[in-house]
Chains A and B, each alone.
Chain A
Amino acid sequence: MSQEEQSLKNEWPLWEVFVRSKNGLEHRHFGSLHAVDAEMALQHARDVYTRRMEGVSIWVVESKQITASDPAQQTAYFEPAQDKIYRHPTFYELPEGVKNM
C-alpha cells in the first residue's frame, strides 16, 4: 500500500452539514467536514460552522449517503427545461388587491 493510499484509508469519513439559521427557516447546506461518527460530526459542525451565532439546529449526513446527479447527464437532465418558460407562473394576470407576489 502506498503512503497516499494509507493516509486515505486512515482519513475520517466526510459529512455534509446543514444548519437552520433560525426557527422557521429551512436547514441549508453549509459545508462538509470529517468525523468518525454522527455524534462527533455534530460537535465538529457546532465548532466549525456555528461559532458566530449562525444557527439554532444542525443536521449532519454522511456524504456517501447522498446520491448526486451525474454531471455527464447535465444536458439531458436540465436543458430540456430551458425552452419551457411557460412553466413559470408568470403568464397570469394578478387580480387587483393581491399583494406580496
Chain B
Amino acid sequence: MRTSQQKKQMPYPQDDGPVGLIYGLADSSLILAQRLSELTGHGPSLEVDMGLTNIALDLFGQVRLYYQYAAELLADGRTEDDLAFLRTEREFRSVLLAEQPNTDFAYTLTRQFLYDHFHFLMLKELQRSKDNTLAGIATKGIKEVAYHKVYTSDWIERLGDGTEESHRRVQKAVLDLWPYTQELFYKTEADKKMIEQGIGVDFERLKAPYYKAVTTVLKQARLKVPEVAYFQKGGKEGVHTEHMGHLLATMQYMQRTYPGMEW
C-alpha cells in the first residue's frame, strides 16, 4: 500500500540509466533558458534583449534534441513536451545555479557566464561519447555555446572593468553565485553508470580547466575570485531552492491548466 502511494507521488521515478543522464545534461539548460526568456522584452536595450533571447532560444533548441532522444528511449508514449511540462520539481536534475533569479543585469550575466564555461567544456567531452546521438547533439550545440561563452565573458569584463557601480554589482553577483559552481561537477548514479559505459561525461575532469578559464576572465575584469568553504548542491538530486517551484509554475502553467493543449 505504502509503495503504491509513493509511486503515485512520483509517477516518473529517478532514472539511473541513459534517460537520467540526459536529464542531467539537459535540464539545467532548460531551466536557465526559461530564466532568460523571462527577460525577453525587458532587456536594457533592444540589442542586449535580442542577444540574451538568442541564447535562450539556442538552449531551448538543444534541450529539444535531448528530450526527443529521451522520449525515444523511454518509449512509453511520452513526448519531449511531457518531459518539460509535466515533470515535477523533484524530477528535474538541473543545477541550483540555473534556477537563481534575474536579480539584476549583473546576476543574469554572471549566472550565464558561470554556466557557459561549464557547458562548453561538457559538450567538448560529450562529442566523444560512445552514444552517437548524444555526440551529435554535442557537436551541433558546441558552436552556439562557443559564442555564448564569448558574449558573457565580454560582458563580465565590461562590467567588472566598467564604472564603480557596475564593478560593485558584478562583484556581488560573483560572490553570491560562486557557491553554486561546484555542483556543476556533481555526478549522479546515472552519470557514474554512463561514464563506465563510455557514454556519460566525467564532470570531475572538467573542474580544473573550468576554474582556470573562469578565473582568468574574472582577473581580467579586475574582480576578486571568491574563496568559499561551503558549496551548495542538491539540484542534480532533485532537491531545489525555493525559486524552482515558482519558475516551474510559470513554465508549466499552460500544460497543467489545459492538459494536452497544442498550438
Contacts and interface: CB of A to CB of B under 8 A. Distances in A.
A43 B151 CA distance: 8
A36 B150 CA distance: 17
What's the interface size class on B, roughly? 10 to 19
B78 to A, nearest CB: 31
Contacts of A36: 158
A43 to B, nearest CB: 6
B84 to A, nearest CB: 23
Contacts of B50: 44, 47-48, 51
A35 B151 CA distance: 14
B154 interface: yes
A47 B46 CA distance: 10
Given A47-B54, A51-B54, A39 B154 contact: yes
Given A39-B154, A40-B154, A43-B154, A33 B54 contact: no
A51 B50 CA distance: 10
Interface string B141-165: 0000000001100100010000000
Interface string B37-61: 0000000011110110010000000
Contact of B51 (A34, A39, A47): A47
Interface in B119-160: 150-151, 154, 158
A33 B154 contact: no
A77 interface: no
A34 B154 contact: no
Interface string A22-57: 000000000001111001100110011001000000
Nearest to B51: A47
Contacts, number: 28
Nearest to A15: B47
Contacts of B46: 33-34, 48
A44 B154 contact: no
A60 to B, nearest CB: 12
Contacts of A43: 51, 150-151, 154
Contacts of B158: 36, 40
Q: Which of A12, A36, A39, A51 has the most CB of B within 10 A?
A: A51
A17 to B, nearest CB: 11
Nearest to A11: B45
Interface string A43-79: 1100110010000000000000000000000000000
A35 B47 CA distance: 8
Given A44-B47, A44-B48, A47-B47, 18 more contacts: A12-B45, A33-B46, A34-B46, A35-B47, A36-B158, A39-B154, A40-B154, A40-B158, A43-B150, A43-B151, A43-B154, A44-B50, A44-B51, A47-B50, A47-B54, A48-B46, A48-B47, A48-B50
